[in-house]
Structure 1
């Protein structure tokens, strides 16, 4: 765990060195002494940074190293604060001078010159002392510490008894079934099991291995370490498959060549457990994926989805490991805690359920916690473990396996990702964390630095995706890799919380309040309590260095002046917040991220926050945006609610704006400012919400509004555009004028990657949509789907995700072709059944299909129930919902309609069974959401019925 602390230190050092060498100290002759001191500090810090990087990947440090590291980290923080505050005061001068001119003019004054020299002199002394201590104690390279237990924590899973395993049969059968399905293939086939650490991947792979190894001529089970030795891995494979003709001095290339030759005529089964990188697999595949044609099989396990995809590319399969069900979790927990009889004592039932919920189906977590409670029958002891489960998992010797498993994942992270992961400890347990907000907080903290050709947000998004790929955070609501939010597993959160506290990265106010914090400075502070009691926070030197302040507590008594170097202030969940709580906020000169709630007005002097980059007032009651916001020259991200109004000309003045969500249009007059967005050359994400005003406005104004909306796609940099209507009531939306897109003129080439037009029907798909050469995701509501619409959409070469909704169904039977790269297709018809048919060869890469429609009789399908789903050979997941009038006693044909709906369901199910790769199929029957929404075929049927039937003869059977 020591390396985690070192990594945080190196993370602080990088931006500090950059800032230090940018100070324009050469501009004034009287600053020669200051310049020399600054150069000395810079040179020494670079040496210290190099030393820290040596320590960063060592998991244990000697006490002297640990103390030195802590001092250097705190020194780096203080130096960065000093430089930032000094530069901010210079930059805060309200005139037209350049930053350099302001700096030089200020240092001409003796008072400021002496102040700068004094501060830098103090820092020089601290740096010199740390440097001397570094040399005195010879803190150059860590010496290996002998651990009392050097056993790989994965080994027990390799030798688990079958009768001790819980919840393994289903996944094991799934994998075996897949291999049997591929039995006719003579080429080597790869299945990759992916999931977070401690989920049971090794155990599952071992059970499949035992079940199948007898069917092959040779077999091997090989574990890969986090720092793999390729010669050892290849020798382990060789030993498993019975190849012994290799001298000890053979290098990797020689081993690969000899193993390929040995396995050429063998039918082998090899499991490669815990693959950490694609590079490792690329070497192993040279041995295993050779010209063998005897039906060999390979299983890999990994925590990284990208590695899993790499291993299974070329016709393989990725099997995502799921947590245990609650019932299976209980069985495993009770068996481990109470023995073979696995009976829970009645007085422990409730607390055991609470513990299991915290473990969230993670087998290793359940086993670890149960080991702490074995032979313990006192309820108080169980409650103590529940309350302290976080620290128990990270510190208790009985939980060492869990810590080791998580440590493997943590220390495999690149250095820049470790601080990003630790920052997640600021969020409460079970929080849904929005990607956009998290990335902006990372940016404000200085964890992300712009690189040539890539924005800081893009880099942050890649960091976010990497943490998901490594199973350290869990995606929420993911669609084909598009993830907008995440959660942190409780066990992982406990682990990173302990690290963050130990390294003084994040501090809970309760620890400060009760004297549990061992540092004299707090860098990031969380204030939160579940009660309604007020929290009083007194001004204290220990809090004067806080960089991030996150408050969840009820009405804390706190003055913002106590936090002069604050970069992040998150009050977005403080529903008690009032204007006086944010008084003097303009004094926070370094503030970059601000989130507020409940207030009705922004502070009058908010425009003085010259470094503010993110402003989130979505949860406030503000109704009008003050003009002062246009003075925020670095404001890049603005989140507001629909009701906030912008005065004319405001948008065009916010030249640094990159993201705005949500711009509300309350009337046609307020649609005119939409034209100003084309002036914002940095804008790449925009969400617009239209009000419910069309019923009393004229057609001319409608055309004007549609024209204003059309100017949005003329922006050369806009990548994400979302246009929606305030109401989600489809019956109401259908009565409004459809949105015409024909007059829109996108730039060529158009940069749009995502376009969402929701709760706002368009009359047809415009021809220009086929020219969107970068479009990956499209969501539209169409009044009625025409063959021409499908042709245009199918010709968009880059389209990966398509969500299509319609009220009036399709214009005749439409054959679907094209869509060469589409992977996800959602079709929803709320009026009548689908009349679409997938042609052979259409959507060749489609993996996920969702259909929702209603049918009354065969005429609703234009005479044919064939959807052509059997032609979608790449499908992995299918979800179908057929809308019927279940239980609707007002519908005389409810019974007949539901029978026909189930008949259609049986046809679809038969088509799905013919698909070779589909592993997930869900068929549901639902009620019509908006009452008796009928179609012409339904009307014909009802009119032909006898009067007694039409007035409810069938209602009793429905």
Structure 2
């Protein structure tokens, strides 16, 4: 299609969409907001503010509203547009269909208006008849559906012409970002180095300036996709001095039309309550206004900070703002958006609101960022590559996302001029080939450059919606089950190779690490929205897989889809799927009620079945014979309590995940699963009564030692009579072992088995009760690769073999009743994290010296402790938590000398200790250098002491 015709087509379609948006805004104000008004008393103020606008709606002559819509629709029939590229044809068809739907809806709205008295005032329509009430609710749902269709089209239009300012969120009908994990394009150090530190400092000042501005303030950050809005906001949000200023925090990525107001409010609620006892038990059944009342009531007397990331709809802002009160305590809301009008509207919602416009990087900053990613330092670029490096960086248009992607790609190339020039030539060719597509050519090139072994791994992220970050361990097991991972080195396991695949994707900056464990390993990861668009496009093109959510109305699934992920979807969604073609099925949660497991019998060729969170009560007694293909089965957090005997048919099964289920005994057939590599079967008790927290495992049948490929086994109940402890010694390849209900007499046998596990990385051992001695006297040789050690039980003395573990990074001791001397002995261990939980009965605790690598210290339920001191110990500690030490009335001595300490968390600690830290308190000066201090006792907040 000629360029002029393409531009004209876009202009006409955008005009059409603008008309549709105006009409929909009128309808949602009249039908959507008024529909629930009789139950939503808090919206009265909002409705009253819109009263004048509603009076002006020409209900008596709706044709006037439709005139521009129809005139634009007529232009869509122009042959130069209608006969253009296939994408343009699809847009024309979709926009035309939307226009027809809007006309139908307006006809119904006009009818409702006549029934309810036309242009009467808003407040006089708060008690409509039942028929009118139901009709308006139905129209509100139609509006939601149409909005999602409009935004899907706007996405592709807005990304044309080098990502103009009208860009919309990625794939609005499918995904939203997980609230807890925030997608960073750049590290905090890179944010500081790229000339945005001034903007960040200004934002931080606005958040911290509560004295001069005690009222609620809304701060907006506006910019196109890939420019680093989320990274900038997160760098401020995570600053200790900023977090320490507010009692409650929440980060919500709004993103898409598929997230209802109720869903978003629930996500805010989960974060601000932080599992406190005030958290309503019936939150799942609350409607929007009940949720708004609950959240608003809880925040009414607490300074709070809420981030609404990637907001694109003023309607969503209207709903959420109702729940976020102006409590006069200096609370702040930060909004990021790709739509300038949204940013301005949010700013006007408060006195002193600000808008920060975040644009692309300068040429110099772009080159510096690119060189850091390509060479790890801008000073390492060979002189002969400087020119071509600048040209490649220039192709990225100043967008950090593109710069880090190209930098990561070039870091895998030889440092030679011909190779780099060839990459630039290929990039230009890609640009020409992809000119009909809507995403920057750099992103397509970054995907095309992937080795074939990584492309399927990368596309697999299509199955993880934006609300789900992929856990590293699960992702690795899934890739292996799918057959993506091939053993390339006889000295490495498939898991080792899969982890290398993941880290290469991370190194190329195609996959972003969302969370690390404290000991440094990747915990979860995700992909940026713009890369997700490529993944979706390629997945559809190759019929690789798709993901849908239950609240997307009218989702259409290809009958021959091979990999399918559903979130909160009803079982009948699968009726139109050709079961014989499906190889992977995720059913992550379900909308309501119970899901029958009978549908499993239809999917005879499944390799992966993940039912995490779905309300499934049981598996079929007879699993299908075709189940021999199944390699990955997850029933995590379901209601399943028993496994069928036919489980033995799953002879190719590699992973069985029963975590969070009610399964307490594994059938004897489990020993027939010779290919199983990961067996997870446990749940946790966490309550208010001693011993407060422990794992509940499963009993194993005889013969478990036959599973020679087993690498992870957690948690199993010790059963010496059944031979379990001795059989564990045959599992020499185990990397993680969790065992519970140990008795004192079991120690020697368990130690003998552990000594044979030379690959062991993690060991968790728990006694049968809080008073039962945990006797682990001799492990010879000790597993030298062991990184994580969790011991729960009465330890008469610390086992000496522990002190030979040079790879240990985390040790958690619970119920131990250690002497002060035993704790001092721990100082020589190379651990990064130490937790003492009901582990010490003494009155004083003096660490003295050592613990030179320690960064995290947790002290919990040391009920006799009255005094604690650090001396010269823990010089590198960064985070300290003290919980439920009821006699500790003063902060530990020596805390003023811990210069790297950034956070102190105090849970249920005495009032005397808390008051001593406040301004003017006896210990205030000791903690003045610590940016973040938080007290979690209810109705108490001392975070402001450091401001």
User: TM-score, normalized by length of structure 2?
Assistant: 0.50
**Relative contact order, CA 8 A, sep 6+: which one is greater?**
2
Q: Between Structure 1 and Structure 2, whose CA radius of gyration is higher?
A: 1
User: TM-score, normalized by length of structure 1?
Assistant: 0.49
